[in-house]
């Protein structure tokens, strides 16, 4: 009979729980504090995951930026190699040459090839001589008396050429200005 009594006790306990649930349906539901604690834990978990994801993103971007900076000049260097090879051949030709005219022509062609490669990469020479002095584009090395009044404030000579790279000043021209 011990087993029957134990089974009857379990049934009675289950019935009591059911009756208590019918009387107070919120008995199995969490309290407001428990619910808020669970929401806070979920929000903290979400925050930590987002923070970790963002931190990984920052590291990846920094790594990609370093790699980009290291390989940024790869294309232009690869394009310059044939011009360097031509220049080396010209230097060897100087050692055994008897006539200068063909050598001058060869060096001129190497120079043109080099300028063409750089122009294709976005480099453009700055035109300065005869134009009004512009401090944004040029650096005045010295002033000299102008031969005529129309040359005052204009660039008379260019000591060092200025260059643009993709429309932005890469190097300012060093010029002589008439005064």
Q: What is the pLDDT of residues 78-124, one digit of tens each?
A: 888 888 888 888 888 888 878 888 888 888 898 999 999 889 888 89
pLDDT score, position 45 = 95
Q: What does pTM read for this prediction?
A: 0.57
Mean pLDDT of the chain: 84
Beta-bridge partners for 163: 125, 171
What percent of the chain lies above the pLDDT cut of 90? 33
pLDDT score, position 7 = 58
Q: Where does the pLDDT of residue 19 fall: very low under 50, low under 70, confident under 90, or very high at 90 and above?
A: low
pLDDT score, position 20 = 55
Q: What is the rounded CA–CA span in Å between residue 147 and residue 75?
A: 47
Q: What is the rounded CA–CA span in Å between residue 67 and residue 61?
A: 10
pLDDT score, position 3 = 64
pLDDT score, position 63 = 94
Q: What is the rounded CA–CA span in Å between residue 33 and residue 37?
A: 6
Whether the pLDDT of residue 141 is over 70: the answer is: yes
Point out the least confidently predicted range of 11-15, 22-26, 137-141: 22-26
pLDDT score, position 103 = 83
Q: What is the rounded CA–CA span in Å between residue 61 and residue 64?
A: 5
Q: Average pLDDT of 50-62?
A: 96
């Amino acid at each position: 009979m011990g087993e029957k009594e134990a089974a009857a006790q379990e049934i009675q306990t289950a019935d009591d729980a059911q009756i208590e649930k019918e009387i107070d349906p919120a008995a199995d539901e969490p309290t407001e504090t428990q619910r808020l604690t669970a929401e806070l834990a979920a929000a903290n978990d979400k925050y930590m995951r987002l923070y970790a994801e963002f931190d990984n993103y920052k590291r990846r971007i920094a790594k990609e930026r370093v790699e980009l900076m290291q390989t940024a000049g790869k294309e232009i260097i690869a394009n310059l190699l044939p011009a360097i090879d031509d220049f080396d051949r010209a230097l060897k030709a100087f050692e055994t040459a008897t006539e200068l005219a063909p050598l001058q022509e060869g060096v001129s062609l190497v120079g043109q090839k080099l300028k063409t490669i750089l122009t294709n990469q976005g480099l453009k020479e700055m035109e300065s001589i005869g134009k009004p002095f512009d401090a944004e584009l040029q650096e005045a090395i010295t002033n000299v008396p102008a031969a005529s009044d129309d040359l005052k404030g204009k660039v008379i000579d260019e000591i060092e050429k200025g260059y643009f790279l993709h429309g932005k000043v890469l190097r300012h021209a060093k010029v002589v200005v008439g005064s």
